[in-house]
Chains A and B, each alone.
Chain A
Amino acid sequence: MPALWIQNARVIDPASKRDSLGDLFIANGKIAASLSAADKKRAKKIDAKGLIACPGLVDIHVHFREPGQMHKETIETGSRAAAAGGFTSVVCMPNTAPVADSAGTIQLIKDSITRTSCIRVYPTGCITVGMKGQTLAPIGSLKRAGVVAITDDGDCVQSNELMRRAVEYAKMFDLPIMDHCQDHSMTVGAVMNEGIMSTRLGLKGWPHAAEDIIVSRNVILATYTGAHIHMQHISSKNSVEILRRAKARGVSVTAEATPHHIALTDETLATYDTNFKMNPPLRTEDDRIAIIEGLRDGTLDCLATDHAPHTDYEKDKEFDFAPNGILGLETALAVSLDVLVRQSKFKLPYVIDLFTRKAAKIVNLPAGNLAEGAAADICLFDPEEKWTYDAKAGFSKSSNSPWHGKTLTGRVKTTFVEGRIVFENGKIK
């Protein structure tokens, strides 16, 4: 493979605190400090004037629906959507069919990743058998099979005792636990945030207290066991506050926020559009602002999309009957740039950090930096390009996105994995 020479980019690598106009050199799929004169002559040159070159983005929360629900997404289509969004490493959730609660299923997923994925995809395993919350899954064997974390995402472990044992047991393998924080007894039949909007619309509400209680539980368990617990897609102001205080005390907890929770509120549900139905639900403006502030002061560690594909016919239903979840990979960067950089005045390198180094660190992925010798996973994007997102023309198998037809600013131009171009100018290579 010839060397690669990305020229005239604004290179932003938060891990090495680099933010400068200049060049990036890639030899043998790795970041190089420079190239020999001979290599420079032969290198494929890419003029990146006006573009940002940053580490390939990292998403620690996606649903690729394989095995079992491949009509919604496959590892192949999901990885393409990821590449189109500038992502080079993603962590996929275990709520497949069957769920990923055995080494055999993990092997099946890994085989498909090897065969079909154009980016790096890392599997997670379940905390409990069948994600039923009753008995521990074979966590050690899952780790040996290659999972990077365990989670019952979507089916929060309700038993405090079982969660405590899971945390203790996983700590032995240095395996992070990720938790979708939801007290099920408080959210039976709930389809949106409980509040003024659910009252108006006559829809069953999901009170943020149901999230806050489990976040508190997890803070207590992390304190008690000394183990690390990662809180998925935080949606409430109170949860942010609980995490802020826990972190100030040095408790080993981390948390993520999604682009949709920082961009949208439950007001968007006024027309019962199921492309705004997700779990945890969109909340109020107060919550939205609190999550942004949580990202600003480091209470929330990273951004993650919770990319959750569903087919049109599954979403095309009465609001109560439609499944939760929206696409996220192809719009995450543009939406976050809009909300965090343009509206909330975050520094661009800080936002990139949330999508790269900080995300990778939570589950110890070898990703998220452009240090010499690191794999040349790179995202090249134009922060100013305006484009209209057509979810139907996207790379995901599904098109359930609240941003369908919306004009976004900031567009991924090229995505490299190990120095190979996997996505360029709207096409998968």
Chain B
Amino acid sequence: MPWTRRHLITLEELSLAEIDQIHATATAFKKILGRSVKKVPALRGKTIVNLFLEPSTRTRMAFDMAAKRLSADVISLDGASSSTTKGETLRDTAENIQALNADMIIIRHAASGSPLYLSNILDIPVINAGDGAHEHPTQGLLDTFTMKEHLGSLKGRKVVILGDILFSRVARSNIHALTKMGANVTLVGPATLVPHWFTDLGVKVSHDLKSALADAEVVMLLRIQHERQSSGHFPSLGEYTSMFGLNKTRASWLNPKAIIMHPGPINRGVEIDSELADGDRSVILEQVSNGIAVRMAVLYLCSGGQPESVVTTD
């Protein structure tokens, strides 16, 4: 099946076959990354613009590196240096970038729906690098890629996502990917951060950590934002940790072979004990490494590459 999408805006809109294609392409790229020369000429001569209108170091670095591994030229614009802080509209900024002959735009924005909005304006591919509390598709792809490496098929596997689900784009993208891949997903956290509406997406919602973690094969933690405390979503970080923080005792409720995931950056001692974050069940750093291969796959496919031709690109 050829790859036909120009943009990557959400995982909600991808089919299972498309998710598999991205994963397969990422597997091929991951092999390349293990070689001494880690670069392929797939996007040589192309210019990719990283438009990060909301601060992010990790995701931006990962996209940057992925683009460079594909031999593309990368220009990065962040919120502070971009003209949107001077009152220019997103439309104007984007049209300028296109007029400068960029070949692809990667956008991170605090407002949900902005990448879709851009994709309706521009002729070049738009890749969503996180929009508000909506989606973070490449994170969902790298997370599920990492799970597959450890568990094989995710069909029927119990995956728990724990923490601030309401405001999490990572959770939404993972929910869409995981449910398509056949996993049984349970969301856990305080009722204020895990509203019952989520059941509409085909997942379970629980506020009881013990039963939720029991026999789970994956637990994915989400960062707890300090601001949620002042907005009344929970009483204090201490209270959160004592009710929902992952510690050694609670980790023992998991399936013995379970893996622990976190999209970073971690609040050590808040959502997870440091010992567990660095322990042998943790795959947090593998997620980071896989992020490069998965993003290479996305950039490659959306700029017109085909899944089966990856290996011949060098």
Contact = CB atoms under 8 A, between A and B. Distances in A.
Interface of A: 188, 195-196, 198-204, 271-272, 313, 316-321
Contacts of A200: 12, 172, 200-201
20 contacts: A188-B231, A196-B197, A198-B197, A199-B198, A200-B172, A200-B201, A201-B113, A202-B135, A202-B169, A202-B172, A203-B134, A204-B133, A316-B91, A317-B91, A318-B109, A318-B114, A318-B117, A319-B113, A319-B114, A320-B132
A318 B111 contact: yes
Interface string B135-163: 10000000000000000000000000000
B306 to A, nearest CB: 29
Given A199-B195, A199-B198, A202-B131, A272 B113 contact: yes
Name the residue among A271, A317, A318 with the largest chain B CB count within 10 angstroms: A318
B112 A321 contact: no
Contact of A202 (B91, B134, B200): B134
Nearest to B121: A316
Contacts of B169: 202
B116 A272 contact: yes
A204 B132 CA distance: 10
Contacts of A198: 197
Contacts of A203: 112-113, 132-134
A127 to B, nearest CB: 29
Contacts of A321: 111
Contacts of A204: 133
B267 interface: no
A201 B112 contact: yes
A188 B231 CA distance: 10
A142 to B, nearest CB: 36
Contacts, number: 59
B195 A320 contact: no
Which size bracket describes the interface of B in this complex? 20 to 34
A73 B166 CA distance: 38
B90 interface: yes
Nearest to B89: A317
Given A199-B200, A200-B201, A202-B172, A271 B116 contact: yes
B260 to A, nearest CB: 25
Interface string B187-213: 000000001011011000000000000
Given A199-B201, A319-B117, 12 more contacts: A195-B197, A202-B131, A202-B132, A202-B133, A202-B134, A203-B132, A317-B91, A318-B109, A318-B111, A318-B113, A320-B132, A321-B111
Closest 9 CB pairs of A and B: A202-B134, A272-B113, A202-B133, A318-B111, A199-B197, A320-B111, A202-B112, A196-B200, A319-B113
Name the residue among B12, B90, B111, B134 with the largest chain A CB count within 10 angstroms: B111
A204 B111 CA distance: 10
A290 to B, nearest CB: 19
A320 B112 contact: yes
B11 to A, nearest CB: 12
A317 B92 CA distance: 10
Nearest to A199: B197
Contacts of A202: 112, 131-135, 169, 172
A358 B133 CA distance: 43
Nearest to B200: A196
A380 to B, nearest CB: 40
B133 to A, nearest CB: 4
Interface in B96-135: 109-114, 116-117, 131-135
Nearest to B91: A316
A319 B111 contact: yes
Contacts of A272: 112-113, 116-117
A319 B113 CA distance: 7
Contacts of B113: 201, 203, 272, 318-319
A196 to B, nearest CB: 5
A204 B195 CA distance: 13
Nearest to A195: B197
Name the residue among A200, A204, A271 with the largest chain B CB count within 10 angstroms: A200
A319 B90 CA distance: 11
A278 to B, nearest CB: 16
Contacts of B198: 199
Nearest to A200: B201
Contact of A201 (B89, B134, B200): B134
Contacts of B109: 318
Nearest to B172: A202
Contacts of B166: 199
A271 B9 CA distance: 12
A199 B231 CA distance: 18
A199 B193 CA distance: 11
B132 A316 contact: no
Nearest to A189: B231
